[in-house]
Structure 1
Amino acid sequence: MHGNSHHHPQSSKPDLSSTQGHVLNMGWRYDLLLWFMNLQSRGELKQVQRKIMDLAQFQPGEAVLDVGCGTGSMTQLIGQCVGVTGTIYGLDPGPKQIARAQAKANQSGLSITYQVGVIEHLPYPDQSFDVVLSTFMMHVLPDNVKQQGLAEIVRVLKPGGRVIIVDFKRPESSAQPSEKPEHTGPWKSGVQDQPGFLQAAGFSGIESGEIATRSNKLPEIGYAIGSRLI
């Protein structure tokens, strides 16, 4: 982390009411749900996680923030990529999610810093991270919080740093319903909207696409990537 950067004001004890987004706070029960989803999809959920890692292209020594980290599954994988010279931070509004993530990191011996907090008020100094990752979280946020969150991500990214957003797709046509389940959240959000949000936030080099899944037990998944201008 940059010692000379401006420190963003933060609450010492953020609470669940500090965000307009939908908060999951399940702890070990969330891991049980993911285990069941992976079983139903015949291991494809785990394959999706590996595809996300390939997409992100984490490098040894990078400083990475996983915003909306849940119980820390992705941060554990990130640790294998950035190595001992890298730094990993996980942020989530659910205290039980963070407690579970920290317990898993302690058990595995990985050095990961977890904190309860919200995307619209990231408790980190300016220009702290090389990469910010968000997986399956944006669809639980209203559009105004997405905008606030992306502005915060711009702030905490180093010049040239990148953001990777992975989320569920919104069905393109209601006339032809998909065989796959839908997870668009209460705001009918879809990852298709993310390139526009990234552009409005000032990101450049924006790329988007699909993460293919064969199982009808998983929703359609896509991604959007952008870089902070130098």
Structure 2
Amino acid sequence: MIRMDTVERLVSVVDSNIEQMVRMAILHIIQLGTKHGIFKVLSREPTYQEVLDSVGLPNRRLLLEFLNTLKAIGIIEEKEGRLKLNGFSCTLKVPQEHYDSLLPGWVSTLEEIYRMVDYAFITPTHPHVLMDFDKDADFWDIRMTTDFADLYRKTISVAAGLEQGMSVLDLGCGSAAPSYFGRIVGYDGFYTGVDYSSAILEIAKSRAETDNLPVELKELDVRLIRPVNEYDVAVISYLLEYLKPDDYGRVLKRTLETLKPGGRLIILEPFREEFKHIEALEFFEKLNKDFVGFPRRNDVIRTIEGNGFDVSIEPLGRSLLRVTLMP
């Protein structure tokens, strides 16, 4: 039985941590703009080209992305082809009741990504930029084993009503989720994890073998999935941000087709319309060449509804959707 008060509490904690990630990202955006003299150049109301020529950072594409981020979060505006600082202010306030919800694990991994930006401004292929899923699988495994990652996996399992003996399809499974969900469903159930990174799947396989868990792992682009089994639960977490919106329909359709009647699809993402200034966080995530952008919840809902399935769609908090295939 799913206790909604427990689900709502867990989702609230997830949302609080995402909100704080965004706030910290804004601070680091401002720090970067100051450290590299970008704001000094912007004070002259330059054109885009004048900023690119004056700042002197070799990776102009990333610098242009940085300017677009400043524009998206409202630090600058463009008028008649010129960029103007607009007196941006942002109050970084954490409500007292949220302090005990903040988790420390994600802070160090994001700080590492913040440091990578200085190297990325030199070249996107700098060896200190550790954001490639295969080449830098160890760093991604660190991100996937933080207390925050444990929290959102627990939130998914509770929202799905996951129990021993159930079957789970996990798209973009990463290195830690197979063991986590595999332990829950146990030997009477089964778990299938899909990811396109062979290096990350090797870590997942090693961890599952160490725990002696019967999980199935498949190296595959999720856009190409054609599952043959039926599942009680399907999971899509921190995956849609690596897909173009045009691909949502195919992936969501195939996923819903795999569910048993009454089965649940759990989608967990920082939905972009729910978190103000989320573009600041996206700037850092874009150090991964495959990152597209956090999805809009309304786009995901419209895509699901447009596929013609008889489903119940429940938005929970600001970062989770529970979709139930009606019997």
* TM-score for both structures, normalised by structure 2: 0.52
Q: Residue 277 of structure 2 corresponds to which residue in structure 1?
A: 177
CA-CA distance at 1:46 after TM superposition? 2.9
CA-CA distance at 1:172 after TM superposition? 5.1
Amino acid in the other structure paired with 1:85: D
Q: Residue 104 of structure 1 corresponds to which residue in structure 2?
A: 207
CA-CA distance at 1:181 after TM superposition? 3.0
Match of 2:174 among 62, 70, 73: 70
Q: Residue 48 of structure 2 corresponds to which residue in structure 1?
A: none
Checking the alignment, whether the CA contact within 8 Å between 1:195 and 1:207 is kept in structure 2 is no
Checking the alignment, whether the CA contact within 8 Å between 2:208 and 2:215 is kept in structure 1 is yes
Alignment partners' CA distance in 1, 2:144 and 2:258: 30
Unaligned runs of 5+ in 2: 1-131
CA-CA distance at 1:81 after TM superposition? 2.0
When the two chains are superposed, the root-mean-square deviation of aligned CA atoms in Å is 2.6
Q: Residue 320 of structure 2 corresponds to which residue in structure 1?
A: 223
Normalized per residue, the structure richer in helix is: 2
Alignment partners' CA distance in 2, 1:150 and 1:179: 25
Q: Residue 24 of structure 1 corresponds to which residue in structure 2?
A: 133
Match of 1:93 among 185, 193, 196: 196
Q: Residue 237 of structure 2 corresponds to which residue in structure 1?
A: 135
CA-CA distance at 1:49 after TM superposition? 2.7
Unaligned runs of 5+ in 1: 1-22, 211-220
Which range moved further: 180-189 or 198-207? 180-189
| Cα distance change, pair 98–123 in 1 and its aligned pair in 2 (3 A) | farther
Checking the alignment, whether the CA contact within 8 Å between 1:170 and 1:192 is kept in structure 2 is no
* TM-score for both structures, normalised by structure 1: 0.71
Equivalenced residue count is 188
Amino acid in the other structure paired with 1:83: G
CA-CA distance at 1:180 after TM superposition? 7.7
Normalized per residue, the structure richer in strand is: 1
Alignment partners' CA distance in 1, 2:248 and 2:326: 19
Larger radius of gyration: 2
Alignment partners' CA distance in 1, 2:168 and 2:144: 23
Matches within 5 A, 1:107-126: 107-125=210-228
User: Does 1:194 pair with 2:300?
Assistant: yes
Alignment partners' CA distance in 1, 2:167 and 2:149: 25
Matches within 5 A, 1:1-12: none
Higher relative contact order (CA 8 A, sep 6+): 1
* Secondary structure in 2 matching 1:181: helix
Checking the alignment, whether the CA contact within 8 Å between 1:204 and 1:227 is kept in structure 2 is yes
| Cα distance change, pair 208–59 in 1 and its aligned pair in 2 (3 A) | same
Match of 2:262 among 160, 164, 183: 160
Identity of aligned residues (%): 20
Alignment partners' CA distance in 2, 1:31 and 1:129: 26
| Cα distance change, pair 46–154 in 1 and its aligned pair in 2 (3 A) | closer
CA-CA distance at 1:62 after TM superposition? 1.1
